[in-house]
Structure 1
Amino acid sequence: MKPIKKLYFVYIITNLSRTVLYTGVTNNLRYRLYQHEFQNYGMNSFTKKYKIKYLLFYEIFENIRAAINKEKEIKGWTRAKKEALINDFNPEWKFLNDEAEELH
């Protein structure tokens, strides 16, 4: 029996009008999106303040260090560079939350 590989996700989410971008890292994208949508409402957080809960981009990693490094790299980018990354992955800027339900 093969050991189960743990996956890590770097993701970018936005608000309904797509004016704010938030980058994060998680080992459970589906649950993290749930937290952004529902659980952050009891807290004073950036994602709560701007109603950021719509997935635009994700990248999958098998190594947590690599995922964290990518998250830090993206966080240091300009908005234009982040938009280019999203455009390459998701040219129509569709909300991918339903797609995240299929990822493990």
Structure 2
Amino acid sequence: MRKPCCWRVLLTGARSMSEGTFQTSRLTSLTGLLLPLSDRHLLLPNVAVAELIDYQDCSAEPGAPEWYLGPISWRELTLPLLSFEAACGGRTRVGGRARIVAVSYT
């Protein structure tokens, strides 16, 4: 598994919501983190990533959705651990170098 790497994505041709026309002179940048998953890559904006932490073993209660792996501890909080692969219809695979991305959604 490859290490996550930082990418800067440049968005050009931002559409004006009021005019509905493209404004190609305006340039916006977004710094993100490209995360290698088992069968694809996931690009998250840096502002959404609170921390990368070591994988923690956990178990969900019987009857939980396949994408819910169970609760984990992070900074004295209990957070739900979700599998992006399983949420997209794939299989959850945990490799030896697996990491958890704590995502900020506020």
TM-score, normalised to structure 2, is 0.27
> Normalized per residue, which structure has more helix?
1
Which protein shows a greater Rg? 2
TM-score, normalised to structure 1, is 0.28
> Normalized per residue, which structure has more strand?
2
